[in-house]
């Protein structure tokens, strides 16, 4: 894992945007894995700004989102498709027919839908860069604690903690889904690079469990310890429970030198 600690959340977003931009500018048909939630919103703003400044075109990009709620369709403002439209897709030149979200509508077979999503990712050549947030309970996507580390795209039941954490997005009288389709942990680990963003004190314990805890389904993000190219971007608060911070700062200085010479994706 490459753990990089920044002063604040804005710097985390700027760094994440550099990773995305370098991939898109370097590869002819880049495939992005995208995430929803509060954390990546500032990343998407950075990407929109780069696009508007003429520095970044998404015209050749394909994207796959991590997850989608069950029981609300894409016209619903709570859907993650809607989130992606308003936060990114509507403001850049991406071809929306090449943007995918894992759905399972009424009457559709979840197993078939999950397999079809996995197939679509394979047909696109696999995910080059998967953006991730982390839940306060250590989830990635909606892979809640006790998710199989070998899981693939499927339906998951959300934990009460996740439902409570996300309730801030829903009005008191609004339907809040308790089920979702989500890429599995094995799906996420297939990406060539994963870039996890975490900001704020409420993520500090999950970050510690992910980086230095046991590899365990109790903290699904700890599965990233198995990934060859996991980049963890943190603000100081999210990093606050990590020991060995001096090491991460020192190692990052060395990485910056390598990145300058060989590019961010020198291990591609
Ligand atoms: P958040 O969610 O960015 O809204 O904190 C992250 C997650 O649950 O993955």
pTM of the shown model? 0.97
Is 217 part of a structural domain of the chain?
yes
Round to whole Å and give the CA distance between 97 and 103: 15
Please tell me the total number of residues recorded for the chain in this structure.
268
State which residues form the domain around 83: 2-260
96 falls within a domain: yes
Pocket test for ligand 1, best of 9, 38, 185 (most atoms within 8 A of CB): 38
Longest dimension (CA), the chain: 55
Q: Is residue 68 part of a domain?
A: yes
d(CA 161, CA 97): 34
Specify if 268 maps to a domain.
Answer: no
Which secondary structure element, helix H or strand E, spans residue 62, and what is its range? strand 62-65
Number of domains in the chain: 1
Residue 221 token pair: 């993000």
In a domain, 216, yes or no: yes
CATH of the domain at 147: 3.40.50.1360
Q: What burial class does residue 212 get, using C-beta atoms within 10 Å of its C-beta: 0-12 exposed, 13-18 middle, 19+ buried?
A: middle
Is 131 among the domain residues?
Answer: yes
Catalytic residue among 87, 118, 128, 137, which?
A: 137
Of 96, 94, 66, nearest to 191 (Cα)? 66
pLDDT (tens digit, 9 = 90+) per residue, 20-73? 999 999 999 999 999 999 999 999 999 999 999 999 999 999 999 999 999 898
Task: Name, in order, each residue with C-beta under 8 angstroms of 90's C-beta and a sequence gap of 6 or more.
Answer: none
**Ligand 1 pocket test target in 33, 37, 182 with most atoms within 8 Å of CB:** 37
Residue 11 inside a domain? The answer is: yes
pLDDT tens-digit readout, 181-197: 999 999 999 999 999 99
**Nearest-5° Cα angle at 154, 60 to 126:** 30
Active-site hit among 51, 82, 139, 227: 139
Residues with CB under 6 A from ligand 1: 37-39, 133-135
Q: Has residue 267 been placed in a domain? A: no
The model's pLDDT over 133-151, given as tens digits with 9 standing for 90+, comes to 999 999 999 999 999 999 9
């Amino acid at each position: 894992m490459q753990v990089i600690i920044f002063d604040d959340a804005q710097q985390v977003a700027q760094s994440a945007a550099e990773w995305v931009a370098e991939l898109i500018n370097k590869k002819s048909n880049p495939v992005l894995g995208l995430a929803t939630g509060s954390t990546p919103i500032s990343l998407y703003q950075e990407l929109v700004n780069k696009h508007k400044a003429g520095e970044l075109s998404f015209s050749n990009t394909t994207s796959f989102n991590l997850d989608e709620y069950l029981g609300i369709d894409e016209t619903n403002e709570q859907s993650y498709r809607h989130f992606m439209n308003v936060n990114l897709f509507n403001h850049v030149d991406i071809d929306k027919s090449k943007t995918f979200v894992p759905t399972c509508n009424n009457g559709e077979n979840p197993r078939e839908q999950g397999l079809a999503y996995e197939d679509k990712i394979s047909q696109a050549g696999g995910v080059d860069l998967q953006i991730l947030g982390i839940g306060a309970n250590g989830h990635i996507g909606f892979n809640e604690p006790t998710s199989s580390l070998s899981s693939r795209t499927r339906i998951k039941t959300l934990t009460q903690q996740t439902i409570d954490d996300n309730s801030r997005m829903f009005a008191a009288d609004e339907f809040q889904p308790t089920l979702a389709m989500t890429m599995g942990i094995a799906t996420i680990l297939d990406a060539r690079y994963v870039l996890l963003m975490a900001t704020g004190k409420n993520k500090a314990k999950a970050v510690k469990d992910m980086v230095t805890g046991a590899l365990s389904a109790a903290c699904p993000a700890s599965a990233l310890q198995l990934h060859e190219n996991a980049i963890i971007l943190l603000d100081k608060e999210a990093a606050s429970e990590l020991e060995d911070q001096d090491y991460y700062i020192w190692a990052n200085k060395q990485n910056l030198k390598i990145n300058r010479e060989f590019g961010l994706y020198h291990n591609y």
